[in-house]
Structure 1
Amino acid sequence: MSPEDVTAHVRRLWRHRGTTLRTPRRGPRQQLDLDEILDAAVALADAEGLAAVSTRAVAARFGKTAMALYPYVGDKGQMLALMLDHASVLPSWTDPGTSPADDLSAWALAFLELHLAHPWLTSLSWARAAPGPHEQDWLERLLAILDRWATPAAMRSPTITMLYATVRSCAETAAAYRTFDSGDAAQWREGADATRRLIPDLAERYPLTAALPPVTADWRQAPREGLLAAVRLIAAALP
């Protein structure tokens, strides 16, 4: 990506927070709106998955060609990065303020709900050199919590890494569970029953696994409850 392309991409990302989009000096006036393009791209990803998203597919929703979309979003990689930030608006909530675990849990649950609303987000990396404003909002909110509870500077980056990774992993599992129907659940139980029948000493082979209590009796809630338990462990490690 050329320096000019990088600059154009950052302008698009921060268009509502201080940058301005370049308009062509010659030729026809802009016919599309970037927010409307990203709304359509996010809706397509939500409905059909990230595999269905392409500049051609999004452009077709406006009766345009993929080439016509390029001046607005750049290439596909840049469009996906714009989609990630566009879909990642920070919701409003009030931190409990009762303990680090409670405040971190509130952040983690909000981040989880974002990923459940847009399951394709787990397929995109947040580790890019040019984060957008909404991505920065999530990080700043988390850092504000760590700052409020006087978390040592050396522990902040590891804590952030663990929280981001844990939420995204739990969100991916929870999203997969939401696609299960009664047939999927029955097939899983049949597989588990067959394993116990064919490997009768399974518990003896793996005694620690056999003794492991479930996070919750409802497997559908396991990702959420597991996330909350993990957040409590992370918070307990903080001074």
Structure 2
Amino acid sequence: MGDPDAEAHVRRLWRHRGATVPGPRRGPQRQLDLDEILQTAIEIADREGLAAVSIRSVAAGFGKTAMALYPYVGTKENLLALMQDHASAMPEWPDPETGLAEALRAWAEALFDTYVAHPWLAERPWSQASQGPNEQDWLERLLRILNRWDVSPQAQALAVTTLYATVRATAETAAAYAKLDRGGVEEWGAQVAATRSVIPDFAARYPLSTSLQPVATDWRNAPREGLVGSVRLLALGISEA
């Protein structure tokens, strides 16, 4: 016999794909909407960070107690997984027909934008993938692209891992840059100036790294441009695999 709590969680994840959401075991009939609960939780995470999300903080937005929310979401980890999948809903875009690189770029930039809109998504480790339908949509779409452009089965798994890792890393950097205020930028510049002053032969010591060309003229655009360039290189590599 299966785990009833796990089954209830899966039913909540797949509620818009044919699964029946479990109702309260006792007490009054369902009064809250799960989508509204998750949207409230996502707004808290977007505004204050993932650490601010708790069943209590989400319930407070509805004037409810934490206990009143448990029948709708289960445990806190269940809540986070439901949020993760809900926030990962895949937008619509046409697959470019001009080549593998362009198709992969469209997929990668769409996922990048999703992570940038919800920076906490990249904080959730891969070991805590929700296994929900929205996250599964991204993987299926990516594999369809790789199959469409005849990428070998041997290269597909590596391409998937590389693309997800690159998107997450660049999105995390973009989120960190977005948090930098004027003081943070000035502090960064002061550190650079201090290094040049204290270590005047820094460039001579590290000639290759100090002569490395930037991926973007504006450092704020570097994460996205780095992603685009990385996808181009990956497409070239797997095309020849």
TM-score interval (norm. to shorter)? over 0.9
Matches within 5 A, 1:64-213: 64-128=64-128, 131-213=131-213
Q: Which residues of structure 1 form unaligned runs of 5+? A: none
Instruction: Quote the offset at 1:65 in angstroms.
Output: 1.0
Q: Deviations over 1:2-26 (max 9, x none)?
A: 8221111101000110210122454
Q: Does 1:227 align with 2:222?
A: no
TM normalised by structure 1 equals 0.96
Instruction: Quote the offset at 1:127 in angstroms.
Output: 3.6
Q: Closer, same or farther in 2 for the Cα pair 1:128/1:182, shift >3 Å? A: closer
In structure 2, how many angstroms separate the alpha carbons of the residues matched to 1:185 and 1:28? 54
Q: Closer, same or farther in 2 for the Cα pair 1:234/1:34, shift >3 Å? A: same
Q: Which residue number in structure 1 is paired with residue 214 of structure 2?
A: 214
In structure 1, how many angstroms separate the alpha carbons of the residues matched to 2:68 and 2:190? 52
Q: Contact 1:10 / 1:130 at 8 angstroms: preserved in 2?
A: no
What letter corresponds to residue 143 of structure 2 in structure 1?
L
Q: Does 1:60 align with 2:73?
A: no
Q: Closer, same or farther in 2 for the Cα pair 1:13/1:155, shift >3 Å? A: same
In structure 2, how many angstroms separate the alpha carbons of the residues matched to 1:95 and 1:191? 44
What letter corresponds to residue 216 of structure 1 in structure 2?
A
Q: Which residue number in structure 1 is paired with residue 28 of structure 2?
A: 28
User: How many matched pairs?
Assistant: 238
In structure 1, how many angstroms separate the alpha carbons of the residues matched to 2:109 and 2:130? 25
Instruction: Quote the offset at 1:87 in angstroms.
Output: 0.5
In structure 2, how many angstroms separate the alpha carbons of the residues matched to 1:129 and 1:215? 31
Q: Deviations over 1:175-215 (max 9, x none)?
A: 11111122211111111011011011111221210121111
Q: Contact 2:55 / 2:69 at 8 angstroms: preserved in 1?
A: yes
What letter corresponds to residue 79 of structure 2 in structure 1?
M
Q: Contact 1:34 / 1:72 at 8 angstroms: preserved in 2?
A: yes
In structure 1, how many angstroms separate the alpha carbons of the residues matched to 2:141 and 2:86? 17
Q: Tell me the SS of whatever aligns to 2:16.
A: coil
Q: Which residue number in structure 2 is paired with residue 18 of structure 1?
A: 18
Q: Which residues of structure 2 form unaligned runs of 5+? A: none
Q: Tell me the SS of whatever aligns to 1:16.
A: helix
The alignment-based identity, stated in percent, is 58
Q: Deviations over 1:133-153 (max 9, x none)?
A: 000111111111101100111
